[in-house]
Structure 1
């Protein structure tokens, strides 16, 4: 989905800093009516209240049923978690003041009672006009969680995107949290991923150097595929205004620890691959068909293993998550994150993804989607101290 300008900022450095890499997060949320649990277009009022505490880190999104909160850059996971928790508390309180619940999910379990309204502003208006036919056909409010990791330069960001690319499907799998959409079970763990793919350029990033990136993006804008450079929706992209690489594969997640784990693993991958980039090792070129298969499996199954035990595929989410943790373990240890991440991965494998939690809430409740919304709202608000 179109996003507003992120504010996660990392200082520019002329040389590799000796300390830990910085990481920041953008979380998109849905506003749902407290009584009906259906999406409610009250973002302007909610944001007006939230900005008293968060300033411009509380942002509008494409539809008025959505809001976004951005963290400051952090070097410690504890600081990132505290920032995320504070933003959620502020947003939830502002939502409550206007008769809403705040939920972190990739899609809305219940359909909106009236057509979605695009947020006011020239850029959103122009995006709507450019894609009016697609939006008229099947408009959905889609919410993602985007992780920024600090880099020194655009060439470094592009090289990191290439090295990290084969591992991004497992990030999508662990964060799958959108099985329900507009009143039905879609059969997917992440239906947001499917709907999001309808937007131009959404997908795996091509392997490009800086010159190739400039040519490619400039040509996409010139041909009208993109409204502007900010409308580039690759799953990993250099930021246009701050020195970060942005990873854009994850659904919004109600479980705060899932968001923190996602950020830690993104940083762990970056720290793992930076020495390889410094050593001049080539960027891998994964088989495109296999990579697409991995993304498709992540969207449909999350971390569930759909394959027979006797023929378990290396693409299965649980298998790849274990391999990702092993790959990043030295970098996680260097940042002081290994023990926490190991425990968090264990909990995730035992309890399942957000999509599993939503379906569990449906089965164990009254088998109505209002109960799923309540589960999401209470989990989103459970941010601890």
Structure 2
């Protein structure tokens, strides 16, 4: 769900100049979190109390979300992945500490693992209008995702990149799967948040776009149809940012650890950079049938990386991890050019060994842990402490 703002700061001039000089892409990340009770695993409506405990230097990077049991952070734009990680570590630990002072815990999870009452909306006129227009499309404790922003030279190029992104996003969605539990039960899906999220009328893969004008026309038509209030409700899995010169990739669950988040951001930037080169070389994007994309995203939500997905080149099912490896190999030159190859290689190996957040939660349950134990561990990982879920 979107708040009224995106991101936290304008790109500093020195970073922009360095990016231009080296022809590199900047990036940023937004993460949404659940607020859990300090002792019990259920969500709690303590977002205002958490805001009251935030230090002044973090407030510009923290926003409300749709429910009173959620909170969102947005990194400043960065060129260096290590700088982005440091900024996000500061945000995660700072907001987690504020949550603890308010009697809550910060939990990076796709949706509420434990049973509990439906949460109330944040008292925001836009959110009340959304509820009035769209009804009870997202009951529960909140849906928490990750949005990665990567810089683009102009909107027309950005639209062409969106076309090229379409076949690759299911595997990135699979890599972020982190919500197998909902309301105290195993859902059978690695990302139940994805299934809940798809009930909104504008959620899904972006269509094949002919131009930036076509993109703007679709936005206007969707607003006129009543399917969205404004451009902020264009919930395609990849879109142009309404506020910044970026493409925004936004189909994934929030990930439990910063390692997971940094792997996602590194791969996303390298993918956009690779596709930008294809656009400049005049390579046409494959016009993958929309139903096939929908099937691949469903498979990503169901299986995560532990099952299969669809190879868009052959249209055949393949192990999701092989597709993830294929993506890594495809973007390797841009990982190296942006200085991220060594870090991404280590993080990719760690994810292969330990599994997605969903796989780690299920591994805990298979060893006899309770839902409360899972939430305890997720809270520790969100803050950057404790052992891994695996």
CA offsets per residue over residues 8-64 of structure 1, 9 Å max, x none? 5447989x8233210000000000001212100000111232252312211000000
Distance 2:353 2:280 in 1: 37
Aligned to 2:198: 197
Report which stretch shifted further, 339-348 or 71-80: 339-348
Change (3 A) 1:303 1:370: same
Distance 1:51 1:125 in 2: 29
C-alpha displacement at 1:3, in angstroms? Answer: 3.7
> What pairs up with 1:113-128 in 2 under 5 angstroms?
114-128=117-131
Aligned to 1:268: 270
C-alpha displacement at 1:281, in angstroms? Answer: 2.0
Distance 1:333 1:178 in 2: 32
Aligned to 1:336: 339
Distance 1:247 1:346 in 2: 23
Q: Is the 8 A contact 1:4 1:60 kept in 2?
A: no
Aligned to 2:50: 46
CA offsets per residue over residues 362-382 of structure 1, 9 Å max, x none? 2334x3200010010111111
Q: Which runs of 5+ in 1 are unaligned?
A: none
2:33 is paired with a residue whose SS is: strand
> What pairs up with 1:1-385 in 2 under 5 angstroms?
1-8=1-8, 9-10=10-11, 17-19=20-22, 20-50=24-54, 52-112=56-116, 114-135=117-138, 138-208=139-209, 209-305=211-307, 314-365=317-368, 367-382=369-384
1:141 is paired with a residue whose SS is: coil
Q: Is the 8 A contact 1:158 1:207 kept in 2?
A: no
CA offsets per residue over residues 290-349 of structure 1, 9 Å max, x none? 322211111011111359xxxx95443101100000000000000111122112111111
2:106 is paired with a residue whose SS is: strand
Change (3 A) 1:305 1:313: farther
Distance 2:326 2:260 in 1: 18
Change (3 A) 1:65 1:133: closer
Q: What is the aligned length?
A: 376
2:34 is paired with a residue whose SS is: strand
C-alpha displacement at 1:279, in angstroms? Answer: 2.2
Q: CA RMSD in A?
A: 2.1
Q: Is the 8 A contact 1:51 1:57 kept in 2?
A: no
C-alpha displacement at 1:287, in angstroms? Answer: 2.7
